[in-house]
Amino acid sequence: EYRSVVTGIGGYLPERVLTNEDLSKMVDTDDQWITERTGIKSRHIAADDQLTSDLGVHAAHAAMKDAGVSVDDIDLIICATATPDKTFPATAAIIQAKLGVTNGAAFDVQAVCSGFVFAMATADNYLARGQFKRALVIGAETFSRIIDWSDRGTCVLFGDGAGAVVLERQDPDEAGESGVLGAHLRTDGRYVDLLHVDGGPSSTQTVGHLRMVGNQVFKHAVNKISESVRQVVEDTDIGLENIDWIVPHQANQRILSAVARNLGIEENRIVSTVDRHGNTSAASVPLALSELNRSGKLNKGDLVLIEAIGGGLSWGAALFRL
């Protein structure tokens, strides 16, 4: 069996920034409420002519540059998104065309905010079986397009963006200690109604808007994320204390802190971008990863754990060594 090794990381944020102050002019809210309840101060919003695929293309280029590979080296594109350009084809296919990749396959993974963790695990399985050589795993979202901008309970939480990694198949000799070491994925569809979009091709023939019972999702988040983290650590036999970086889905600073307390992890090992990005759904983990990468703190050999929870409910965690 082969190893899948992360060889490049990139991110992209649209230029336009929407602050809490801006939001307070749109709905009945204020900076203090948003900051205290979520830790979010600002978020980025895609330009009117920027599609999810455009954000994904930017992130993909950044990841390929970081890896030192070109479009001709890519033979698998998996895009995690809940805000596709079109109902079909897959946004990954549109990204493939925009990048000029003509090899291999491209498809989307839909697990909402957990999408990137699910996509990484999916790509890892294909590469480990030797079916593809080099994957772009992308998380790209334009949640601004499915937000009900009159609902103060949700519109303050989300932002747009994209992140990507290059995942490469290597022989165990070449990979050494590096590679994806394990993943734990879960879904419990009994909670579909806690976080969903009230539209779709088969049900309403409309796009619909995001609906969330925030306080209920919050209650599930801490326990379910902790469950996945514990499971991955147990499966891989790597003690939590040996993990260098935890890169969580950036939904809410209170959730990040509660998970840290619950697992006994010091906050300086937990990457947080939620104050500047808000919740970018499937893009949040690779975006946070790319910020960590750009900060220069990430080193070859570091153990990185990613985790997320989102609509479904779906949740999971994955562990890799750089």
Q: Which tokens belong to 49? A: 């002519």
Q: Does 153 bind ligand ACO (CB under 6 A)?
A: yes
Instruction: Identify which of residues 96 and 252 has a Cβ nearer to ligand ACO in the complex.
Output: 252
Say how far apart CA 176 and CA 98 lie, in whole Å.
34
Instruction: Identify which of residues 57 and 112 has a Cβ nearer to ligand ACO in the complex.
Output: 112
Say how far apart CA 81 and CA 138 lie, in whole Å.
8
Instruction: Identify which of residues 152 and 230 has a Cβ nearer to ligand ACO in the complex.
Output: 152
Active-site hit among 20, 44, 113, 184: 113
| Helix orientation angle between 52-67 and 284-294, rounded to the nearest 10 degrees | 40
List phi, psi (to 5°) of 141: -145, 150
Q: Does 20 bind ligand ACO (CB under 6 A)?
A: no
Using DSSP bridges, classify how beta strands 314-321 and 303-310 pair: parallel, antiparallel or unpaired: antiparallel
List phi, psi (to 5°) of 197: -110, 130
Q: Does 189 bind ligand ACO (CB under 6 A)?
A: no
Q: Any catalytic annotation for residue 279?
A: yes
Q: Does 288 bind ligand ACO (CB under 6 A)?
A: no
Selected binder of ligand ACO within 17, 33, 145, 170 (CB under 6 A): 33
N residues, the chain: 322
Q: Does 215 bind ligand ACO (CB under 6 A)?
A: yes
**One-letter identity of residue 288:** A
Minimum gap (Å) between residue 312 Cβ and ligand ACO = 9
Minimum gap (Å) between residue 290 Cβ and ligand ACO = 19
Say how far apart CA 107 and CA 90 lie, in whole Å.
6
Which of the ranges 89-97, 134-142, 290-298, 307-315 carries the binding residues for ligand ACO, by CB under 6 A? Answer: 307-315
Q: Any catalytic annotation for residue 249?
A: yes
Say how far apart CA 20 and CA 121 lie, in whole Å.
35
Say how far apart CA 322 and CA 320 lie, in whole Å.
6
Q: Any catalytic annotation for residue 277?
A: no
Binding positions for ligand ACO, rule: CB under 6 A: 29, 33-34, 37-38, 112-113, 152-153, 156, 195, 214-215, 217-218, 221, 251-252, 255, 279, 281, 309-311
So which residues are the catalytic ones?
113, 249, 279
